[in-house]
Amino acid sequence: MKTNRMPKWLAFFWRPKVRIVLSILIGGGLGFLYWYKIGCASGGCPITSDPWLTTVFGALMGASIGWPSPDQNKSSAPETDETESSGSSAKSDVG
């Protein structure tokens, strides 16, 4: 019988705090890499002309991707349909 358990090494990286820190570090590294490879040398581009701004911007983008959604923090209780339990239907029968 197979179980749907996550391997231990992957479960460690799936923890919310570890995932946020890793995504910030990866995003910052990618932001710096973007400045290094593509960045604006003339200074006319406000974000890509400065390596610090590009790194911070990449870290913020990484944090926004790695941040856990509110749905992941909910318990695994079965969902109930509120319209059925209240007795009134929100749907209208058209046509």
pTM: 0.61
Q: What is the pLDDT of residues 30-89, one digit of tens each?
A: 999 999 998 887 878 888 888 999 999 999 999 999 887 777 555 544 555 555 555 555
d(CA 35, CA 28): 11
Query: Can you give the pLDDT at residue 69?
Result: 77
Contact present, 33 and 59 (Cβ < 8 Å): no
Query: Can you give the pLDDT at residue 57?
Result: 94
So where are the chain's domains? 11-68
Return the closest-CA partner of residue 36 out of 22, 55, 23, 59: 55
Return the closest-CA partner of residue 53 out of 63, 65, 40, 42: 40
Query: Can you give the pLDDT at residue 61?
Result: 95
Query: Can you give the pLDDT at residue 29?
Result: 96
